[in-house]
């Protein structure tokens, strides 16, 4: 399975917006912190807004904020909103009918892969990703702190 940059950047944008705790976040800020082209990010934000993950705030202090609590958004929803189906092969998609299912030696494998993807992504909330992002940033900042040697006497 290949996850496009659209889905990857969509999740990163949601994390960045969610980290601000409800304040409106300009896409320029998200673009700068995440290293994503602002033009591409505008397209992604449009998709995220249509899917109901973010809402726009107009005005001088405008931008985007989450439309739902971060704990109520999971990675599976975001990835499928940006990608469509994430089934590893077409034969395990919900509406697919396979005439080889009875004799195929791989269908069970692909169903397990599909289930694992759904479980991992569906079991990971945006709140989880925000927490992980903050933990990583804190660890990075701790590493950057200068160490001072004790004065020699």
The model carries a pTM of: 0.84
The count of other CB atoms within 10 Å of the CB of residue 117 is 17
With contact defined as beta carbons under 8 Å apart, do 133 and 20 qualify?
no
Q: How confident is the model at residue 44 (pLDDT cuts 50, 70, 90)?
A: very high
Cα angle vertex 85, ends 12, 115, to 5°?
90
Q: Cα-Cα-Cα-Cα dihedral of 126, 42, 47, 9, to 10°?
A: -40
Q: What percent of the chain has a predicted confidence (pLDDT) above 70?
A: 89
Helices marked H in 3-153: 5-18, 27-34, 38-50, 75-83, 107-122, 126-144
Helix axes 126-144, 5-18, angle to 10 degrees: 80
Q: How confident is the model at residue 71 (pLDDT cuts 50, 70, 90)?
A: very high
């Amino acid at each position: 399975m290949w996850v496009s940059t659209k889905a990857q950047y969509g999740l990163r944008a949601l994390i960045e917006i969610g980290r601000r705790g409800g304040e409106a976040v300009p896409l320029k800020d998200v673009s700068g912190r995440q290293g994503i082209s602002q033009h591409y990010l505008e397209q992604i934000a449009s998709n995220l807004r249509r899917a109901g993950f973010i809402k726009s705030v107009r005005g001088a202090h405008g931008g985007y904020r989450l439309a739902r609590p971060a704990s109520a958004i999971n990675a599976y929803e975001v990835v499928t909103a940006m990608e469509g189906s994430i089934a590893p092969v077409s034969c395990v998609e919900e509406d697919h009918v396979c005439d080889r299912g009875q004799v195929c030696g791989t269908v069970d494998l692909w169903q397990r892969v599909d289930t694992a993807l759904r479980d991992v992504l569906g079991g990971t909330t945006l709140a989880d990703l925000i927490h992980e992002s903050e933990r990583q940033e804190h660890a990075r900042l701790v590493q950057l702190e200068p160490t001072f040697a004790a004065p020699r006497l």
